[in-house]
Amino acid sequence: MTDQKIVSVADKVVQIEKSIGNIHVEYGRSEIAHNFYQNAYRVELADKGPHSSETADLLVDIGKLYNSEGKHDEALQNLEQALSIYTGQEDSQIKVSNTLKQIGHICFENLKKYDMALSLYRQASRVMIDSVIEDSSSYKHQLGIAEIQLCIGTIHMFLEHYLKAKEHMDKALSIYCYILGDDHEKVGHNYIRLGVLKMKMNKMKEASDAFKNALSILRQKAFEANTHL
């Protein structure tokens, strides 16, 4: 009974520390946020140990905060540590995939390491596909695959591998349309990416059509949002 009470108190302390840290993040006070995240991490580490999913979750939060500050090496260190924890656990495929995506995003957007980013996104995709095989009814997993496909397509576009880029962007679009419907906002954003790709391929008519599809969807979404105000 005593042990259960201690665990419950520790969980509440972690939740409060994280919540205060999140507030400071919202107000751009990252240094103060770090203090609260680190406090939460120390409590979680003492309570659940270095190999728990909850401890890894905090490492991810800390890594994201470092990345927002432009401290990419520190961000990668925390994310990679979290990844090693998730990888050793059952039922953590989604967290493994998401962490691989976050590391891939840093490699692509911040470090310009395109080949490494592609490798990480492919790993994330394989993990997510395995999750879909285990639970084919999970739309969340399939949407995760679509997001990864769009990221891979974008990197290929930057590398001027236009046919590969189109292949992956088309896969993403197909999944989004099937699960979310043809008029979803994510479909609109996918059309924007395809429009940019078509311009780079000098296919201006197809680029125009893609942008028009995007505009039609997003204009309608903007109208719906305004009518609900």
**pLDDT tens by residue, 124-179:** 999 988 876 655 556 778 899 999 999 999 999 999 999 999 999 999 999 999 99
CB 83 within 8 A of CB 99: yes
Q: How far apart are CA 187 and CA 179, in angstroms?
A: 10
Tens of pLDDT, residue by residue over 12-68, are: 999 999 999 999 999 999 999 999 999 999 999 999 999 999 999 999 999 999 999
Rg of the chain taking only CA atoms, in angstroms: 20
CA dist 229 → 139, 185, 222, 225, 226 (Å) = 29, 18, 11, 7, 5
